[in-house]
A and B are shown apart, each in its own frame.
Chain A
């Protein structure tokens, strides 16, 4: 009897969780993207705390500007003093970095790290999961006290992203991402991010609520002693100046 029960328990445990079909997963990703997308303008004050082995912790203050309708993005570093005036600007498909020390603009790829931290452009930009990745169901899991759906994402052919494989833990109740793992091309785990605090604001331009992570904790899984804490403060959805997303505007901030 005891053997039969053990066998039954083993069989039941081995059964996969009720799989979520692909259209549902795509719908879920589209919903996640849509909740974080703002039709109009967006401004946020962001603090980045970078911890690295054998180095003093560095806190950076950055202003993030977005105009999602035109796919525009700009970052302006305001602290520490040594990085004040540095900026990142996306113009069309190019990402430009500006250093007021040299007065030079350099073109970089969209996948590069921001200001030497573990963050990337995609951490501050609108979410494009449905557009860039193909999902597959990874089961259900308990993350602390939260019940989550696990989705495995693989980049679509012809799309260039920083990490080609993702694993997402999505809160079953409110569909917020709680944990995100990013894998290198080799399949090695490169970065784990936790999203302990989601916040929402009513967006007039969208006529719906805009969700944003109030806090992101990013852990470098290759150089395990490195981590970055991202705090998003003072999110403002009012219209920004029309001429904001220009090289001239960014340069003027350091004059």
Chain B
């Protein structure tokens, strides 16, 4: 069994209440940080831990914190990104729903390190039931003196609030999140300036994912060096993976970075193998935005060694043969899953979620959706496949925010690795599906 740092107490009685949380060692990091450490010492531990942002981009958290403008004379803000809308990702939800105090504890220690007087948790509007859980836990924390004026007599004061979004994937992008928190449409801002210089209301701001902030708790409790002992290379610590799709045991798993992809899919501790004894066909390992990989590239790297669940290993080979760890939204496809249908589905998603500011993204996502729809429903032409390739290439890198790339990459990867399925759809428009949208046997992936 791998070590658990975040979900260790998941199944303890009353862990969602202050009482239960304290019984399991809760809020120790607040005592330690606020009474015995300076803010810079807290940041130093986070740097030592090697923690990388768990929201998708994997940027070093300690480094990001050091960019915060501490001399502007303006208030500084920490915003927790609980927008969690990347298809395939449902890990932050588990953490907040079951162990809300872990996030609150992490917010207190992180806000202390950054010198914030007020911090916000921006949570997607559909998670209103979790907002209520968090608000209840925050009230408990105020009552116990972990929030508010002069926390535990340390002289440090902090207010923490939860702010709901209202159904917009783009608000997970950090500058869109800030716009949304200011009461506006979620249109990403042109960078620079970066939020660390001018973020919420023009003030220096750090945006971090729920899981990143929760990880600060074990890092302060046990020290950054201890955290860095888990994992391989620049992928330290544990990672929450949300596993979905055609597997026996979908759910959220905390893994030690560095276990193999094969173990994650097939061992009973995690996904428990492919459902209905079917073959593994493909996987999107890091949320809908990252490239899909066929089974042979998924389980092994280009040098023949097993592919591991780390930032480096999953991206080994670049997009030619690799993908990304991303948000840890691990979507598994069995041999009957239709890659064209899935690609169309994701294209529809990005078209729907594009904020519309940049023409390549606004027009390109819609165009890709229409072309893919045509192919999927038997009206495609062979040229359409190259057309798709062309559209996605023109979106990538040409937009204000990375949603454009996120829309382009899945299409590119699907064509790169599964071109034969697109061609098959064009050639045999009437033969592809049975009535349940499941592939006919002859389309099963060749065993590799």
Partners in one complex: no
